Amino acid sequence: MGENQVKALDDATFSIEKGEFVLIVGSSGSGKSTLLNMIGLLDRPTKGKVFIDGTDTTKLDDNKISSFRNKKLGFIFQFSNLLTDLTVLENVLLPRQIGGTNSSSEKDARELIKLVGLESQINKRANKISGGQAQRVAIARGLINHPSIVLADEPTGNLDSVTSEIIVQLMKSTAKKLNQTFIIVTHEPDDFGDVDKIITIKDGRAFEGNHIHESEVIA
């Protein structure tokens, strides 16, 4: 910023094991969204490395990053970002179609839609289902490519408290059933109850733990 150098992240070092359910917390401007973008390969670090499944992703060129991201990462956003003219099934299939469909694609999609409790809505267009149902579809879509990591950015931020609780329990039960790694940025860590790890971002640095200290209350 002009002559001032701003470090969004500064030596934010940590590791996450397969199957862990992890929260990233911190006040606004702390660097947590930048961190999620780094893990999601949407931004490149100016220094340091991001390893996913043993691969140093900072060495991948743009084409390889796109392919790697589609195969290894699933995304769930605060707003479900469904394509409203497509059905529930068609929305879930989108990442698989981008990567190249195979004979098991529709079967896999139907199993995931059943897992998130929307089997009866499978042929409805996305603009005909509720916000909570749309977020369930987003979870299924994020899992369709069997990613190594599911990244969720404020996945309950647009939902009422009752629906939020349903979505949280759905993500936690899915993580357990599939041994799936979830990394979730949230301003509401209390909504998630017990988790495997909490990474607090403060002034661009990462602090690991399994609970929030009073000095780390979200602003």
pLDDT band at 215 (very low <50, low <70, confident <90, very high): very low
How, if at all, do strands 21-25 and 197-202 pair? parallel
Q: Are 26 and 207 in contact (CB under 8 A)?
A: no
Q: Are 57 and 103 in contact (CB under 8 A)?
A: no
Q: Are 109 and 140 in contact (CB under 8 A)?
A: yes
pLDDT at residue 82, rounded to an integer: 87
pLDDT in tens, 137-168: 998 999 898 888 999 988 888 778 888 898 89
- DSSP state, residue 125: B
Is the pLDDT assigned to residue 125 strictly greater than 50? Answer: yes
pLDDT band at 101 (very low <50, low <70, confident <90, very high): low
- The radius of gyration of the chain's CA atoms, rounded to the nearest angstrom, is 18
Architecture of domain 21-216: 3-Layer(aba) Sandwich (3.40)
Closest to 150 measured CA to CA, from 113, 115, 187, 179: 179
Q: For the chain, which residues make up each domain, given as ranges? A: 21-216
Kindly write down the DSSP assignment for every residue of 62-103, as one continuous string: HHHHHHHHHHHEEEE-SS----TTSBHHHHHHHHHHHH---T
Residues whose CB is less than 8 angstroms from the CB of residue 38 and which lie 6 or more positions away in sequence, other chains included:
9, 44, 45, 50
pLDDT in tens, 10-41: 888 899 999 999 999 988 878 888 898 899 99
pLDDT at residue 17, rounded to an integer: 93
Q: Are 196 and 21 in contact (CB under 8 A)?
A: yes
pLDDT in tens, 174-210: 888 889 999 999 988 888 999 999 999 988 888 887 6
pLDDT band at 217 (very low <50, low <70, confident <90, very high): very low
pLDDT at residue 62, rounded to an integer: 87
pLDDT at residue 46, rounded to an integer: 87
Only one residue has tokens 């879930």, namely 92
pLDDT in tens, 43-60: 888 889 999 999 999 999
Q: What's the Cα-to-Cα distance from 47 to each of 33, 36, 201, rounded to whole Å?
A: 17, 16, 18
Rounded distance between C-alpha atoms, residue 182 and residue 18, angstroms: 9
SS3 breakdown of the chain: % helix, strand, coil, rounded to 5?
Answer: 40, 15, 45
